[in-house]
């Protein structure tokens, strides 16, 4: 990236308490990232029906549920973030306002209304904190999606929020690095470091307390990632204050009573359906009492029809070699457990295959304990849940004789193409999967694989192989019963 010359910005308002004063519309026009993102500094005026208001509020609740449910997805995990946003978008098309391709003012307006409805409602709810977390996180991932994490775009947002800042020049960055004002590993590659923002130290107290940034002449020196966090903090403070003022203003206002009661009904209904959905999800993940428990008497057919590629590869390797090394066994035993295979059936399955190569007493001694342990019958007696895609993608890469891992991450293109052909995928679908792999987006590749093999998108982002299995089973059962 080319660096700008040192840019001095005049301060619109350096008083933090006034950072959210209204900004004249003209001052943000022409800055596309601002046109695409709502910062919810001012409410929308106009009239909508109660039904519309309830519908918009319902959509906001859905977004909140998706984002809070994926709270463990880190903002650096681009593919998981993208999939999470896809889920928000597909559920929330009318209000999502996160499209990076189109500028849709109607979406932006609806998004703004849904935000203010939720803000008004949660001001009086014990879930107020969760709501704030959601809005902060939502802003963070929207900034990320719009690629605002870089350069000038971010600078416009800082201006919008009234921050006093400067962009450090290339020479200055090199100088600061030499003096170790910035906590970079030395020697740094100044050219690829990206923009460094100098902001007043009081905006960066949390980084200073961690000693993760340098301070010079009253200014903290922040990288792009840190500056995004500062913006999100400022936004969060704004939401916190506005919740307090909403509480004060609205509790005295009898006119909002009717609207509030309507939203309250929507929220209670939503909460009930969410509790039921999470109960079912937990049941699926634990494999207990699930209607789609894996029928081992028909396993070969099920493998072909319903297994994700990672587990199918492990299963076929087991059938071929009558053995699997530790990591693949760990993945497959826990997968089978979460697919509803009980302990005795599982032990017999592994015994049948392993004893084609080793004596039964060796199996009893070296392998059976391990299966019982993973089922929570030995050691600390805590059953191990099946692994997530993220873990399988990031875990130790498989060596030449290992069978664990994610094919969309660990297979080379030739190997992957041959597997996909064997699974009867057409060439244009294979090309599309290869493109996702090239973009290092394994989850997208897997969702595509699901769609091309089942004829339907999965209902949400695939985060666990066991989810792939259940979704596939669910589709085939619904097709049979319809």
* Residues lying near ligand SF4 in the complex (CB under 6 A): 308-310, 389, 392, 406-408, 442-443, 446, 462, 465, 468
Q: With respect to ligand SF4, which residue has the nearer C-beta, 340 or 407?
A: 407
Smallest distance, Å, CB 222 to ligand SF4? Answer: 35
Smallest distance, Å, CB 302 to ligand SF4? Answer: 15
Q: With respect to ligand SF4, which residue has the nearer C-beta, 214 or 309?
A: 309
Smallest distance, Å, CB 19 to ligand SF4? Answer: 42
Q: With respect to ligand SF4, which residue has the nearer C-beta, 347 or 392?
A: 392
Q: With respect to ligand SF4, which residue has the nearer C-beta, 250 or 446?
A: 446
Smallest distance, Å, CB 177 to ligand SF4? Answer: 39
Give the pair of three-digit tokens for residue 17: 């308490």
Q: With respect to ligand SF4, which residue has the nearer C-beta, 224 or 417?
A: 417
Q: With respect to ligand SF4, which residue has the nearer C-beta, 219 or 411?
A: 411
Find, among 450, 444, 455, 445, the residue nearest to 470 by Cα.
450
CA angle at residue 68 from 66 to 72, to 5 degrees?
110
219 and 4 Cβ atoms separated by less than 8 Å: no
Smallest distance, Å, CB 86 to ligand SF4? Answer: 15
Smallest distance, Å, CB 413 to ligand SF4? Answer: 16
Half-sphere exposure for 119 (CA within 13 Å, toward CB): 24
367 and 272 Cβ atoms separated by less than 8 Å: no
Give the whole-angstrom CA distance, residue 358 versus residue 354.
Answer: 6
Give the whole-angstrom CA distance, residue 472 versus residue 477.
Answer: 9
Smallest distance, Å, CB 160 to ligand SF4? Answer: 38
Bridge partners, 382 (sequence order) = none
Radius of gyration, alpha carbons of the chain: 27
Give the whole-angstrom CA distance, residue 56 versus residue 35.
Answer: 20
Give the whole-angstrom CA distance, residue 269 versus residue 369.
Answer: 46
Bridge partners, 166 (sequence order) = 8, 198
Q: With respect to ligand SF4, which residue has the nearer C-beta, 239 or 339?
A: 339
């Amino acid at each position: 990236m080319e660096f700008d010359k040192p840019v001095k910005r005049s301060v619109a308002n350096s008083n933090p308490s006034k950072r959210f004063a209204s900004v004249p519309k003209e001052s943000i026009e022409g800055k596309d990232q601002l046109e695409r993102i709502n910062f919810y500094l001012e409410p929308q005026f106009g009239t909508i029906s109660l039904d519309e208001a309830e519908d918009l509020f319902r959509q906001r609740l859905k977004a909140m549920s998706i984002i809070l449910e994926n709270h463990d997805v880190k903002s650096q995990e681009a593919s998981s973030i993208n999939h999470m946003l896809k889920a928000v978008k597909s559920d929330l098309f009318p209000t999502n306002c996160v499209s990076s391709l189109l500028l849709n003012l109607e979406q932006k307006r609806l998004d703004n209304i849904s935000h203010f409805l939720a803000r008004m409602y949660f001001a009086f709810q014990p879930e107020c904190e969760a709501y704030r977390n959601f809005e902060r996180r939502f802003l963070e991932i929207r900034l990320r999606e719009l690629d605002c994490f870089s350069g000038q775009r971010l600078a416009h947002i800082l201006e919008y929020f009234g921050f006093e800042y400067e962009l450090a020049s290339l020479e200055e960055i090199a100088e600061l690095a030499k003096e170790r004002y910035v906590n970079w590993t030395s020697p740094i590659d100044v050219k690829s470091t990206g923009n460094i923002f100098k902001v007043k130290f009081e905006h960066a107290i949390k980084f200073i307390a961690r000693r993760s940034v340098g301070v010079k002449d009253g200014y903290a020196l922040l990288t792009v990632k840190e500056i995004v966090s500062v913006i999100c903090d400022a936004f969060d403070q704004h939401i916190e204050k506005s919740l307090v003022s909403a509480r004060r203003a609205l509790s005295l206002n009898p006119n909002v009573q009717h609207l509030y009661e309507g939203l309250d009904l929507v929220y209670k209904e939503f909460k009930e359906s969410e509790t039921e959905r999470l109960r079912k999800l937990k049941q699926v993940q634990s494999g207990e009492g699930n209607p789609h428990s894996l029928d081992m008497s028909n396993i070969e057919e099920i493998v072909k029809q319903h297994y994700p590629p990672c587990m199918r590869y492990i299963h076929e390797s087991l059938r071929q070699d009558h053995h699997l090394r530790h990591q693949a066994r760990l993945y497959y035993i826990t997968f089978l457990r979460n697919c509803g295979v009980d302990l005795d059936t599982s032990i017999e399955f592994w015994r049948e295959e392993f004893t084609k190569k080793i004596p039964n007493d060796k199996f009893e001694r070296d392998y059976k304990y391990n299966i019982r342990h993973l089922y929570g019958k030995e050691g600390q007696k805590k059953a191990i849940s099946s692994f997530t895609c993220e873990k399988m993608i990031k875990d130790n890469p498989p060596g030449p004789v290992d069978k664990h891992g994610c094919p969309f991450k660990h297979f080379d293109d030739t190997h992957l193409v041959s597997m996909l052909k064997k699974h009867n995928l057409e060439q244009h679908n294979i090309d599309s999967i290869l493109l996702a792999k090239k973009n290092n987006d394994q989850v997208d590749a897997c969702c595509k694989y699901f769609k091309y093999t089942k004829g339907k998108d999965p209902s949400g982002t695939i985060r666990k192989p066991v989810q792939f299995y259940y979704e596939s089973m669910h589709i085939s059962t619904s097709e049979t019963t319809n």
